Structure 1
Amino acid sequence: MSWKITPNIAAELIAHEGIVREAYKDSVGVWTWSVGVTSASGHKVWPRYVDNPQTLKRCFEVFEWLVRNKYLPPVKRAFAGHILSEAQLGAALSFHYNTGGIERASWVKKWKEGDVAGARQAIMNWSRPPEIIPRRRKEQALFFNGVWSNDGFGTEYGVRKPAYTPDWSSARRVQIKETLDELFGP
């Protein structure tokens, strides 16, 4: 495995996260943009994207940079000495993007030791809050069975102003596959 972020892997993460093309304040007031990108990533979000929506391509370029530089290295360390399929890498990246816990997750240790049944069960230990359970089940199905859940679409949200919070009622499905293929190759 080349540890490459493919269009399929990017689509899987984006489908779990959602897209907001301009800066908004997350649930704890942190300025966020694109697919969960904050200034803590090293890419300045505020004030760059306030009232300044970007193309899907630009959103995904920065998202891919973030995943490649901040999330892929811990996944590589966690699975050092083991070969992952594209699906397994996608599931591991999705898990880590959501939890930040790939290097301390018991399911990874169990899998590396050959306890696949134990690993399959242990990934579900990361199921709080309960709203995350559907995502965790999709990551479980992807890692252990190679079943992708993305369909080439993502959910995009607008920004409610003047509060600059996500407008959840504006949710709309947008085609992301073509943009991802353009960025990463089909």
Structure 2
Amino acid sequence: MGLLKKLFGGKPETKCEPAQQARIVPESPDPVKAPTKTGAAGVALIKQFEGCHKPIGQGRFQAYPDPGTGGKPWTIGWGSTTDAEGKPIVPGTVWTQAQCDAQLVRDLARFEREVAQAVAGAPTTQNQFDAMVSFHYNTGAIARSTLLRKHRAGDYAGAQAEYGRWNKAAGKVLAGLTRRRAAEAELYGR
């Protein structure tokens, strides 16, 4: 609970609404030294698009199927597809708000680490890092993306344009993914 209080301020939320405070990470003064933690803008973007779903009352949330496939991967809370032990979420899983928030912290740490490794020392601003963490949090595809290759090559406009290509799930264009990719591209370009 101490880490959650430090990161999100106060008690865990009892309603499924974005936290009022996020981790505050200053802009990297030296873009060659890439950030390693998601800033407030990145956390807010992830929470905005992931939401904390599917409330069933009394501060509890139930797993729901992937909107693109109608099944796997099953998701809970702030878009988590695995639990604290790394096991996949299954139908019928129920978590408290505190469990949802704690898993968000764990998920962010994993995706931040993977993006930092993928960027591998390429000049990266805080906003670029945040946008890539949001992208990876949702797709799991940073390492194999043309977006990353263009970013590492210094083609920032090309990398920014790549976000729009990732708006499909199970072969279908999803309006929510289109909006998310546009928001990530905008953040990346700030």
Q: Shorter-chain-normalised TM-score: which range? A: 0.5 to 0.7
Q: Which amino acid aligns with 2:38?
A: I
Q: Which residue is 1:140 aligned to?
A: 185
Q: Which residue is 2:104 aligned to?
A: 63
TM-score, normalising length: structure 2: 0.63
Q: Which residue is 1:22 aligned to?
A: 61
> In structure 2, how many angstroms separate the alpha carbons of the residues matched to 1:3 and 1:33?
25
Change in Cα spacing, 1:104 to 1:34, as seen in structure 2 (3 Å) is same
> In structure 2, how many angstroms separate the alpha carbons of the residues matched to 1:78 and 1:2?
12
> In structure 1, how many angstroms separate the alpha carbons of the residues matched to 2:147 and 2:43?
22
SS across alignment from 1:81: coil
Query: Does structure 1 conserve the Cα–Cα contact (< 8 Å) formed by 2:63 and 2:91?
Result: no
> In structure 2, how many angstroms separate the alpha carbons of the residues matched to 1:30 and 1:73?
22
Any gaps of 5 or more consecutive residues in structure 2? 1-33, 54-59
Cα-Cα RMSD: 2.6
Highest RCO, 1 vs 2 (Cα 8 Å, sep ≥ 6): 1
Cα deviation digits, residues 86-117 of structure 1 (max 9, x gap):
22221111101111110111122112212222
- Shift of residue 30 of structure 1? 5.4
- Shift of residue 46 of structure 1? 6.0
Query: Does structure 1 conserve the Cα–Cα contact (< 8 Å) formed by 2:63 and 2:92?
Result: no
Query: Does structure 2 conserve the Cα–Cα contact (< 8 Å) formed by 1:127 and 1:136?
Result: yes
Q: Paired residue for 2:162, among 106, 122, 131?
A: 122
TM-score, normalising length: structure 1: 0.64
Q: Which residue is 2:152 aligned to?
A: 112
Structure (1 or 2) with the greater strand fraction: 1
- Shift of residue 83 of structure 1? 4.1
- Shift of residue 38 of structure 1? 3.1
Change in Cα spacing, 1:36 to 1:126, as seen in structure 2 (3 Å) is same
Q: Paired residue for 2:79, among 28, 36, 39?
A: 36
Any gaps of 5 or more consecutive residues in structure 1? 146-186
Moved more, 125-134 or 28-37: 28-37
Q: Which amino acid aligns with 2:149?
A: K
Aligned residue pairs, count: 141
> In structure 1, how many angstroms separate the alpha carbons of the residues matched to 2:73 and 2:122?
36
Q: Which amino acid aligns with 2:116?
A: K
Q: Which residue is 1:11 aligned to?
A: 44
Cα deviation digits, residues 129-164 of structure 1 (max 9, x gap):
24211110100000112xxxxxxxxxxxxxxxxxxx
SS across alignment from 2:71: coil
Which 4+ residue blocks in structure 1 deviate beyond 6 angstroms? none
